[in-house]
Chains A and B, each alone.
Chain A
Amino acid sequence: MLSFRYHWFLVLLMGIAIPLLTAKTEKPGEFYPFSNFPMYSTFEPETYYVYVTDAADKPLAIGTLFGKSPSDVKKIYDRKLMTLKPREKGKRKLELSSPLKAEAANDTLQWLVENIAKEKKGKLASLGKLRLHEVVITYSDGVIGKSDTLTGERALATNPAPTL
C-alpha cells in the first residue's frame, strides 16, 4: 500500500499542504483541480436555497435563462452573507437583518445580470425586475417546513428608445 507514492503524495497535497497554504484565502482547501471538499460534510438541522422571480413574482428558470445553476446562485448569495456577517456580531447568516440580506441579494442579482450569456441579454430587459427569494427548510414538531422570504430586488435597465 505504501508503494502508491503518487496517491499518498496527492493525499498529503490536498489534505494538508493546500489547506495550510490557502488558509487565509476566501476558500481554504481549494486550488483547482485540487480540493479537500467533502461533499455533504455536515448535515445541519436547517438549510436553505434561493430562487429568482420577475417583476410579477413569477419564478424564472435560472439554468435556462442565465446559464447558471441555482446552486451557484446560492453559493454567491451565501458568500455575500458571510462577508456581511461581521457587521452583526453573534448572529448566524440566516439571522442577519433584512437590510443586510437585501444587500447580499442585490449583489447576487447584479452578478447574475453581469454574467448572463450575450445572446440572452435582450430577453432579460423585458422582465422589468429581478427578485431574490430565500427559502429556509427546517424540521419541527415532526414536520418538514419551508419559509419563503423576498430578500431583495433589482430593477433592470430597459433598452433605450431609438433616436429619431
Chain B
Amino acid sequence: MTLPPIIQRVWHFFAAYEPMRHARWELVLMRVIIALLVWDTQTGWVSHLDDPPAIVQAVLHNAQTRDFNYESQPHPNGLGMWFDLTWLSEDNIEKPLRAAVAVSLLLYALGVPSALSLLVPLFFGVASSTLANSQGAIGHTSQVLHLTLLSLWLAGLGTLWCRWKKKPLANGFSAGEFEASWARQGIMAGYVVSGISKLLFSEGSWLTSARYLPLHIVKNRDMELYDKLDSNAVSLEWLPQLMMEHPVWCIVIFGLALPLELFAFLGLCNRRSAAFFGLGLIAFHETVTQLMSLSFIFNKALLLVFFVAPWWWAVRLFQRKPVQ
C-alpha cells in the first residue's frame, strides 16, 4: 500500500533518520555551554543573567564561599542508600573537589576527551545532589543536566573503547557527534518517561485535571514570595482567577505538552524534528516559567544547544550548500 504524498512528506519531515553531523565549531560551542551550565550548579551564576558584572563575579568567586552543610542523610536516595556521602560536606574534601571540578570543566571546554575531563564533575555533581536529595526533599532542578553529563561521559568511554578495538563509531560519527547523539538520547528519555508517568499517575485524567492548574500557579507564586519576600513574585494576581473561569485555556496549554513529551523520541531523528520538538518543549517550559516562576533553565538551555541549535540554521541559511 502506498501512502498519500502528503503523509509521506510529513513522515519524512519528522521521522526520516538523518544522523546529525556537527562542524568542529559547533562541538566547541556545545562543550563551552555544557561547562558553563555545570559550573552554575556550583556558583549560581545563571541567576544574574541580567547583570553581566555579577555573572563574572559569580563565575570567578561564588565557588569559594559555597559550602555544603549536610551532617547526615536521614532519607537516603540513590547511591546514598549504599554509601554514606556526608564526607562530601567536610571542607577539606569539598573545597579541593570543587576546585578540581573547575579545572576539569576548563579542560573539557578546551577539548580534552570527556571520559577523562567529565569524570570529576560527574562524580561530584551526582554525589552532592544525591546527598542533598537524601535530606528528605527530592529536587529535580539539576537532574537533566547530570543525566546529560552521564550520557556524555558514557559516550566518551564508548569512544575510547571503539578506538581500542579499532571499530568505527555508529553512523560514521566523530567522537563529538557520538557524544552529542547520546546526550540527545538521554535528554529525550527523560521527557518520554515523564509523559508515560503523567498518564499512569493520573490514571488517564491528566488532561481534564489541568483545569485546576491556576490553583498551583497561586501556590508557586506565593512560595516564590516567601523565598526572598519579593512582592514582584505575586504580580498578575488576577490571572489564576481568570484561568479558573476559562478552564479550556489550561487544557489546551497543557494538552499540547503531553504529545510533545510522549513522542519526544522523534526529535532524535533529524535536524528538522529536533528543532520542532526542541522549540515545542522550550515553549512549554517557558509557559510554566511565566505562570509559576519555575525556571527550568537547564532543560531550556540543553534543548536549545542539542536540539534547536539556531546557530546551525543561521549558518545553513547563509550558505549555498548545506553545512552537513
Q: Which residues of A contact B (CB under 8 A)?
A: 1, 3-4, 6-8, 10-11, 14-15, 25-27, 29-49, 51-52, 59-64, 69-76, 79, 111, 114-118, 135, 137-139, 142-144, 146
Contacts and interface: CB of A to CB of B under 8 A. Distances in A.
Contacts of B212: 43-45, 47, 139
Contact of B214 (A15, A51, A144): A144
Interface of B: 15, 17, 67, 69-71, 75, 77-79, 81, 126, 129-130, 133, 135-140, 142-143, 146-147, 150-151, 154, 170, 182, 185-186, 188-190, 192-198, 201-202, 205-206, 209-216, 218-219, 222-224, 226-229, 240-241, 244-245, 254, 265-266, 268-269, 288
A33 B137 contact: no
Nearest to B134: A32
Contacts of B245: 142
B210 A10 contact: no
Contacts of A30: 77-78, 133, 138
A19 to B, nearest CB: 9
B126 A33 contact: yes
Contacts, number: 203
Contacts of A10: 147, 185-186, 189-190, 193
Contacts of B215: 43, 45-47, 137-139, 144
Contacts of B265: 1, 4, 7
A143 B242 CA distance: 10
Given A31-B78, A45-B215, A49-B219, A15 B197 contact: yes
B138 A62 contact: no
25 contacts: A1-B17, A3-B17, A4-B185, A6-B154, A7-B186, A7-B188, A7-B268, A10-B147, A10-B193, A36-B197, A39-B194, A39-B288, A41-B197, A42-B206, A43-B206, A43-B209, A43-B216, A44-B209, A61-B227, A64-B229, A79-B75, A117-B69, A139-B214, A144-B214, A146-B218
Contacts of B288: 39-40
B137 A59 contact: no
Given A1-B17, A25-B81, A118-B69, A33 B201 contact: no
Contacts of A15: 192-193, 196-197
B305 to A, nearest CB: 17
A143 B241 contact: yes
Nearest to B196: A15
A78 B150 CA distance: 31
A33 B143 contact: yes
Contacts of B241: 143-144
B189 A11 contact: yes
B206 A6 contact: no
Contacts of B219: 47-49, 137
Contacts of A8: 189
A66 to B, nearest CB: 10
Contact of B202 (A42, A46, A115): A42
Given A7-B186, A117-B67, A32 B193 contact: no
A75 B223 CA distance: 12
A26 B75 contact: yes
B46 to A, nearest CB: 15
Contact of A1 (B79, B129, B151, B269): B269
A74 B324 CA distance: 49
Contacts of B202: 41-42
A37 B140 contact: yes
Contacts of A34: 78, 147
Contact of B136 (A7, A11, A37, A111): A111
Given A38-B201, A69-B227, A75-B138, A32 B209 contact: no
Given A32-B143, A72-B139, A75-B138, 17 more contacts: A1-B15, A7-B188, A10-B186, A29-B197, A30-B138, A37-B194, A38-B198, A40-B198, A43-B212, A44-B212, A46-B215, A60-B229, A64-B229, A70-B226, A71-B137, A116-B69, A118-B67
